[in-house]
Structure 1
Amino acid sequence: MLSFPGIGAQTGARILAEIGEDRTRFATAGGLKAYAGAASITRASGKRRYVGRRFVKNNRLNHVGHLWAFASLSGSSGADARYRRRRTTGGWRMQALRRLFNRMLGQLQPLSARSL
């Protein structure tokens, strides 16, 4: 867990505590992302389409995820490039951090799906 950029001892402990020790709890990375509130929600009806953030989520995991994403900006040039790319296309700061957190959770999911 500490090999990820931006994760310290307290951040890693909080992430592991919120995800839990049941490795089969989330079958896919999408399930973990939705639980954390990092995945966007899409509502479509007819010609209208809304893509926005989730309001129902694990708030503690979401908060530590934003801290993780923000701390990874200084520790990883790839994370910083992804964040800057999103910001230059017109995304807000929190949108860019949420997308970065979403990406990092996708990389974390194979670790949580492994058996002990």
Structure 2
Amino acid sequence: MKNDRLNHAGHLWAFAALTASPGAKTHYRRRRDKHGDWHASALRNLFNRMVGQLYHCLQHGEHYDEAQAFPSPLEGLEAPAAA
């Protein structure tokens, strides 16, 4: 089922996030550059990710954290420290 109002609100939310959130902009650019998505497709993917983050925050009673929502692509790839 398609909800036009939710679709429109999501488009505006994702579009606004491009200027307010460095992580959202990086995610959008990655979808455009590496995956070859068109603008609308990249925005839709960003919106889907943001809805998933909202759902997680509501389910676990947590506050939104930009660093956790959009981790750096290099984060977690550091070499383990030698003992």
Matches within 5 A, 1:24-63: 56-63=1-8
Match of 1:68?
A: 13
Structure 2 unaligned blocks of 5 or more: 62-83
Report which structure shows greater RCO (CA 8 Å, sep ≥6): 1
What is the CA–CA distance in structure 1 between the aligned matches of 2:60 and 2:2, rounded to whole Å? 24
What is the CA–CA distance in structure 2 between the aligned matches of 1:114 and 1:79, rounded to whole Å? 22
Matched, 1:93 2:77: no
Match of 1:107?
A: 53
- TM-score (ref. length: structure 2): 0.65
Q: For the aligned residues, what is the CA RMSD?
A: 1.7
Displacement after TM superposition at 1:99 (Å): 0.3
Deviations 1:42-82 (A, max 9, x none): xxxxxxxxxxxxxx311101110010000000000000000
Corresponding residue pairs, total = 60
Where do 4+ consecutive residues of structure 1 move more than 6 Å? none
What is the CA–CA distance in structure 2 between the aligned matches of 1:57 and 1:95, rounded to whole Å? 16
Match of 1:77?
A: 22
Q: Which has the higher helix share?
A: 2
Structure 1 unaligned blocks of 5 or more: 1-55
Letter in 1 for 2:15: F
Q: Which has the higher strand share?
A: 1
